């Protein structure tokens, strides 16, 4: 199987390449560290199998799938550090995934499944799988812009620009790098429309996980969430279950 590795983390690429080189039926044809580079390599190399990182700056894994939608599709194995991507994208389990950090045993189980798919699945089935995967992702992406109304002004705030959100009575305040905006919507209602990367850390606070740089232990099971700009927010014990990759999936 002609194989392509796509991950923006060099250590992750090296470890996966090392495991793949132990397989007699795998040939690594290229390694990529970004979405655009991956799209070009897939079109150039026409690989049979692609290990694709979900979370990459700019064009992410789903963007890569959209970018090669018109080409002959390879088998896709997603690599992700967050459980929610696995839950959202692989409900049908048509395409396998590796959840970082993965064990050798999990890697071997995945390869058994990949070999079976490579031997039995017709190319048009891969086309259907990829289209279904992208469609499910689009459904789960949530709102891309939020309307913030004030006296004499209506602002459209890009979700990607939001660092964190706090409740203010029946309203919600969006905090970006430049300013804060008041939204005439409850935090609960707004949270239902947000992408999965926004997580509740307190009854009155939601944070964009892409802005989190550190979690520091606090008092009585609480944690302090530190954002890239230095903002410090409280993660209450009640909402630690929102961080399964750190505290475990079953904790509340």
Residue 238 is part of which domain span?
145-247
In this prediction, residue 130 carries a pLDDT of 64
Of 49-63, 124-138, 154-168, 211-225, the range with the lowest mean pLDDT is: 124-138
* Residue pair 190/183 in contact by the 8 Å Cβ criterion: yes
Instruction: Write the CATH number for 172.
Output: 2.40.50.1020
Q: Kindly provide the residue ranges of all beta strands, DSSP E only, lying in the chain, ordered along the sequence.
A: 2-6, 27-32, 49-53, 75-80, 97-99, 145-150, 153-158, 162-168, 171-176, 180-183, 198-202, 205-208, 212-217, 223-227, 232-235
Residue 154 sits in the same domain as residue 77: no
Partnered with residue 77 across adjacent β-strands are 51
Q: Is residue 129 part of a domain?
A: yes
> Residue 225 is encoded by which pair of tokens?
């969430």
Please count the helices (runs of H) and the strands (runs of E) in the chain: 8, 15
Domain boundary among 107, 140, 173: 140
Sheet with 212-217, strands from edge to edge, namely 212-217, 223-227, 232-235
In this prediction, residue 183 carries a pLDDT of 86
- pLDDT per position as a tens digit, 68-90: 866 677 888 888 776 655 555 55
Over residues 23-37, the mean pLDDT reads 93
Helix (H, G, I), strand (E, B), or coil: what is residue 26?
coil
Over residues 19-30, the mean pLDDT reads 95
Domain boundary among 114, 140, 166: 140
Residue 149 sits in the same domain as residue 233: yes
Residue 135 sits in the same domain as residue 150: no
Asked if residue 250 has pLDDT above 50, the reply is no
As a whole number, the mean pLDDT across the chain is 81
Residue 135 sits in the same domain as residue 181: no
- pLDDT per position as a tens digit, 195-207: 878 889 999 999 9
pLDDT band at 95 (very low <50, low <70, confident <90, very high): low
Instruction: Write the CATH number for 74.
Output: 3.40.50.2300
Partnered with residue 75 across adjacent β-strands are 49
Residue 78 sits in the same domain as residue 171: no
Helix (H) or strand (E) holding 83: helix 83-89
Distance CA 99, CA 102 (A): 6
pLDDT band at 120 (very low <50, low <70, confident <90, very high): confident
């Amino acid at each position: 199987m002609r194989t392509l590795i796509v991950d923006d983390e060099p250590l992750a690429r090296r470890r996966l390449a090392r495991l793949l080189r132990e397989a007699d039926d795998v040939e690594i044809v290229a390694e990529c560290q970004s979405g655009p580079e991956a799209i070009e390599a897939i079109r150039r190399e026409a690989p049979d199998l692609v290990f694709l990182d979900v979370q990459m700056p700019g064009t992410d894994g789903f963007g890569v799938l959209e970018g090669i939608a018109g080409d002959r599709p390879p088998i896709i194995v997603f690599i992700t550090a967050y459980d929610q991507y696995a839950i959202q994208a692989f409900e049908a389990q048509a395409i396998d995934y590796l959840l970082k950090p993965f064990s050798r045993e999990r890697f071997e189980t995945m390869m058994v499944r990949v070999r079976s798919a490579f031997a039995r699945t017709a190319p048009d089935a891969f086309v259907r799988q990829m289209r279904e995967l992208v469609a499910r992702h689009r459904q789960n992406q949530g709102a891309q812009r939020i309307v913030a109304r004030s006296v004499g002004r209506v602002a459209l705030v890009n979700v990607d620009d939001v660092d964190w959100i706090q409740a203010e009575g029946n309203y919600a305040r969006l905090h970006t790098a430049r300013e804060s905006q008041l939204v005439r919507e409850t935090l609960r209602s707004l949270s239902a429309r947000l992408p999965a990367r926004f997580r509740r850390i307190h009854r009155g606070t939601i944070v964009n996980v892409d802005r989190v740089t550190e979690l520091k232990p606090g008092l009585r099971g609480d944690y302090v969430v530190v954002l890239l700009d230095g903002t410090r927010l409280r993660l209450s014990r009640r909402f630690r279950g929102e961080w399964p990759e750190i505290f475990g999936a079953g904790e509340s």
